[in-house]
Structure 1
Amino acid sequence: MMKTQPNWERFEEEMGSTVITEEQETNKLSKDYYWYSPVLAAELADKVADGVAKPETVEQALAVLKACYTHDIPVTTRGAGTGNYGQGIPSYGGLVLDLSGLNKIIAMEPGQVTVQAGVKLGRLEKELREAGSELCIYPSTYMKATVGGFFSGGSGGIGSIAWGNVWDGNLLEAHILTMEEEPRILTVKGDELNRYIHNYGTSGIMVQLTIRTAEAVDWEQVIVQFDEGEDMLAFTESLAYDDEIRKRLVSGHETPIPTYFVPLAPYIEEGKAVALIEIEAGDDSRLKELSSSHHGQITRVIPADRYHKEMSLSDFTWNHTTLWALKTDPTLTYLQSGFSTHHYLDQMRNIKQRYPDEVHLHVEWVRGDGDIQIGSLPVIEYQSRERLYEIIDYFESIGVSVNDPHTFLLPIDNKGRFEQILEAKALNDPKGLLNPGKLPELKKARQAG
């Protein structure tokens, strides 16, 4: 696709929205957290939109899409820009469609809430808890991240140990805008949602979502430290499988990762591995027993009445772990991987033997497809692109799956969801104007799938 040079003044009235073209603002709104990756930082630094539209109603968004379709202008959708893979960066200029103005909470009902895509998850969690409910899952960036951005570009997060990831029934319904001569609003439910979850806005644009919620729980936050990383891993595994302890977060970090958590320094001794967890208040005795049996020491308990009223332990988990690492050393980076629940220790030992000073393990225990799984966002001592992909190749050679966070291309899964996204794109985006450049070459992608 050739990069366009739109004359916004010519059809701004037609779009029904003011288009921002000021260079500083368009640069800011054309970027996400792609700089987590040194590979993407080099590849995407010069990518920028020609303009930005900020609709405040769905009708305005439809008018923007209609005008862009008529004038062959690519459209890249944006929430809060907290994604890490360059999925919100326009590859071919055009228009960034900033949906942060669609920020209404439409309806709270038992077990679910309906919101517009631009609602921030931090605000939603606060209002839900005031009403006696809470989010089932949310990312560590929840204070800034939007609901639409999370389900369009995220996967899992806090709460995933109980409720799974974005595909596990946590999105109940979505309203999707198409990119056609006359854009449509689709109401999507059930398996059809796979066409739009984690699609980077390539097959349709989420403007309204109904997501699953749960009854609010009094969550206590606990730091447990260990002399040995393998004791930490055994503890987090036992906790993940322990049905007697209700939990929202089970996150583990080997040394030196805890040294990056500067605000937690008073509670973590140098050289220790740590587990950062959220459990239901009242499960303390069971937790003490479990931690002691794995040679762990509880060093900090944040009571439930302080939950989300100060810096949370979740602010050091998931990809916030990477952020704290980058604050310490900007040359560090990360991977996203999945270990075997039966052989993960052998896999990790092999990795540590081969890359003792380059790979530092960070695990997140989750539930996916109904089963307990061990996900990992290891911190990597970055040397070069070639060395990074050598490490990725080694991970995969020993059975560790890798979702490459150093590419802006939508990943090809082995569950048929990628094929569903391609089918929806063909129907909803006949000119290929929705976030172009983010899908792998179709023929190769189908062969790989």
Structure 2
Amino acid sequence: MTTLQDDLLGMLGARGALSDPRSLSTFSKDAFYYSPVLRELLDGKLADAVAAPQSVTELQELVRYACARSIPLTMRGSGTGNYGQCVPLRGGIVVSTHRLNRILALDEAAGVVRVEPGARLGQIERQARPLGWELRCYPSTWATAAVGGFVGGGFGGVGSIRNGVLWDGFLKSVTVMEVTPEAALHTLSGTELLGFIHAYGTSGIMVELEVNMVPAVPWEEAALSFPSLEQALRFGAELALDPLEDKRMVSLHEWPIPSFFGPLVAAGGVAEGRALALLELREGRAGAAVSRAANFGGELTYSAPASAYHAGKFCLSDFTWNHTTLWAMRSDPGWTYLQSNLSSDIGEALGQMEALRTFHGGQESGGSKVAFHLEIGRQAPDTPQERVFISALDLIYVPDAPGIAAAIAERERLGVSVANPHTYYLDADPRWSGQPVMDASARYNPLGLLNPGKLSAEADAGSTGR
């Protein structure tokens, strides 16, 4: 009798069928180690094998094989997610898309790029910009993150202040392979896309994506220091709400967070004891931002011209979104984080943060600590439903699950909703699309083989057809 590995070797060849201990460990993980809770829950969860198909035909053969044997399949992009999205809870096969990585076409007139799911966002951005286009939004892991993984597990990122989040027109269409003995393909658009955005790969296998872009802008970078986070936030909110100022990023960091950014510290971009605003602005507008910042006690500490954008040893987005947490953990592994949606009213948001500082015992108390990192963005831009959001990827120094649960409960008591990064359940995240994901799963994953265990029992029971 042949083994699973023998069968995969026959289908995919030596480069496409991996079962050595190192590969099993590497491909069965993502960045869930950001969470002490997920470290305990997910460490040691391994696939039985790793498959890396290089074509849709190979992937179809793999899906038919898995369906015939009821083998779970867990899709994986580049493994830059933070919630265990690609961790195989029930063994089976992790399907890596790193060989399905081609940019298939780029329509220069329409600004639409057609890609395979393993294409890297950095690769897309670098190919599109010389042709006059750029991504609508991307995570801080943009250089290595795969587009399929971003769509399946992300939210927004750099560019969200201007163009919104994944649900705001990032995709034009997606071609999905159903996980059935037929492994049929379906090209979807419009509201059907909701079943695949932030779905953790539970609803069908994305084999091709059409991504809408926006006209490229020459972006310059600026870091400005402020006496306090309050002054940085008041400046950042004013800049964010100014329709005459084009920006791609407004990222705010309370001290001591800026001290964690080693390359920026070495470049002289961090002022001791001061909050920091990291900005990407249209070329020629940094001077106006500096003048505006002076009204809030702000001073320029670092700048980079548009000619150096994405071309130097680092860019300011390397210190934003979830990369901020990574820099903090490198400085002190005791830090972890939450994802808190503060009030869009600045006064209320400041009140919420002050109450949370009291709850966490203050930054220098020797007990629990909190330090706020804020990202300002928009959802549904240029529509009647437009909403400016202040997303706090707040750093907390809380070592265990009870402490984290208490911190979340306190935020909810204060009216702060939390996308909990310490659970792998998709339906625990208020940002997922809910019923559209379950409906898509019932249609394209009727055997329940895709990433099983990532929906709670209650939500999985609500998926019609299973």
Contact 1:155 1:166 in 2 (8 A): yes
Counterpart of 1:433? 449
Contact 2:224 2:290 in 1 (8 A): no
Q: Decide which of 409, 419, 422 is 2:425's aligned counterpart.
A: 409
Counterpart of 1:279? 281
Counterpart of 1:226? 226
Q: CA deviation at 1:19?
A: 2.4
Q: CA deviation at 1:286?
A: 2.3
Q: For residues 350 and 113 of structure 2, what CA distance do their matches in structure 1 show?
A: 40
The residue correspondences of 1:14-163 to structure 2 (distance < 5 A) are 15-16=11-12, 18-109=16-107, 110-163=110-163
Q: Which deviates further from its counterpart, 247-256 or 334-343?
A: 334-343
Counterpart of 2:366? none
Distance 1:328 1:416, change over 3 A: closer
Counterpart of 1:178? 178
Q: CA deviation at 1:289?
A: 2.3
The residue correspondences of 1:314-329 to structure 2 (distance < 5 A) are 314-329=317-332
Residues 1:291 and 2:298 are matched in the alignment = no
Q: Which deviates further from its counterpart, 283-292 or 159-168?
A: 283-292
Letter in 2 for 1:80: S
The secondary structure found in structure 1 opposite 2:231 is: helix
The residue correspondences of 1:339-418 to structure 2 (distance < 5 A) are 339-342=342-345, 343-355=348-360, 356-357=362-363, 358-369=369-380, 370-412=386-428, 417-418=433-434
Distance 1:113 1:387, change over 3 A: same
Contact 1:367 1:373 in 2 (8 A): yes
TM-score (normalised: structure 1): 0.95
Q: For residues 124 and 58 of structure 1, what CA distance do their matches in structure 2 show?
A: 20
Distance 1:14 1:267, change over 3 A: closer
Counterpart of 2:383? none
Q: For residues 393 and 429 of structure 2, what CA distance do their matches in structure 1 show?
A: 18
Counterpart of 2:167? 167
Letter in 1 for 2:351: D
Residues 1:305 and 2:307 are matched in the alignment = yes
Contact 1:15 1:67 in 2 (8 A): no
Q: CA deviation at 1:11?
A: 3.4
Superimposed CA distance per residue, residues 44-68 of structure 1 (whole angstroms, 9 cap, x where no aligned partner): 1110001011111111111101100
Contact 1:412 1:418 in 2 (8 A): no
Distance 1:444 1:135, change over 3 A: closer
Q: CA deviation at 1:253?
A: 0.4
Contact 2:53 2:99 in 1 (8 A): yes
Distance 1:275 1:13, change over 3 A: closer
Q: Which deviates further from its counterpart, 262-271 or 155-164?
A: 262-271
Q: Decide which of 308, 331, 334 is 1:331's aligned counterpart.
A: 334
Distance 1:104 1:443, change over 3 A: closer
Q: For residues 94 and 413 of structure 1, what CA distance do their matches in structure 2 show?
A: 25
Contact 1:204 1:429 in 2 (8 A): yes
Superimposed CA distance per residue, residues 353-397 of structure 1 (whole angstroms, 9 cap, x where no aligned partner): 222231110000001132211111011102321111101000011
Q: For residues 336 and 429 of structure 2, what CA distance do their matches in structure 1 show?
A: 23
The secondary structure found in structure 1 opposite 2:89 is: coil
5+ unaligned residues in a row in structure 2: which ranges? 364-368, 381-385
Q: CA deviation at 1:430?
A: 2.0
Distance 1:19 1:384, change over 3 A: same
Q: For residues 112 and 153 of structure 1, what CA distance do their matches in structure 2 show?
A: 21
Distance 1:50 1:271, change over 3 A: same
Counterpart of 2:248? 248
Q: For residues 301 and 20 of structure 1, what CA distance do their matches in structure 2 show?
A: 45
Q: CA deviation at 1:278?
A: 0.2
Superimposed CA distance per residue, residues 24-57 of structure 1 (whole angstroms, 9 cap, x where no aligned partner): 1111111111101111111111100010111111
Superimposed CA distance per residue, residues 101-121 of structure 1 (whole angstroms, 9 cap, x where no aligned partner): 111111112222111111011
Q: For residues 158 and 236 of structure 1, what CA distance do their matches in structure 2 show?
A: 15
Q: For residues 334 and 429 of structure 2, what CA distance do their matches in structure 1 show?
A: 29
Distance 1:88 1:401, change over 3 A: same
The secondary structure found in structure 2 opposite 1:301 is: strand
Q: For residues 36 and 385 of structure 1, what CA distance do their matches in structure 2 show?
A: 13
Letter in 2 for 1:143: A
Q: For residues 25 and 432 of structure 2, what CA distance do their matches in structure 1 show?
A: 35
Q: What's the RMSD between the two structures over aligned residues?
A: 1.7
TM-score (normalised: structure 2): 0.92
Distance 1:443 1:334, change over 3 A: closer
Contact 1:412 1:445 in 2 (8 A): no
The secondary structure found in structure 2 opposite 1:290 is: helix
Superimposed CA distance per residue, residues 79-119 of structure 1 (whole angstroms, 9 cap, x where no aligned partner): 10000000101001100101111111111122221111110
Distance 1:416 1:348, change over 3 A: closer
Contact 2:438 2:460 in 1 (8 A): no
Q: For residues 268 and 445 of structure 1, what CA distance do their matches in structure 2 show?
A: 51
Letter in 1 for 2:332: D
Superimposed CA distance per residue, residues 232-286 of structure 1 (whole angstroms, 9 cap, x where no aligned partner): 1101111110111100000000011111111111221211100000000111342
Distance 1:125 1:401, change over 3 A: same
Q: For residues 445 and 351 of structure 1, what CA distance do their matches in structure 2 show?
A: 36
Q: For residues 61 and 353 of structure 1, what CA distance do their matches in structure 2 show?
A: 53
Counterpart of 1:424? 440
Letter in 2 for 1:374: I
Contact 1:403 1:411 in 2 (8 A): no
**Percent identity of the aligned residues?**
40
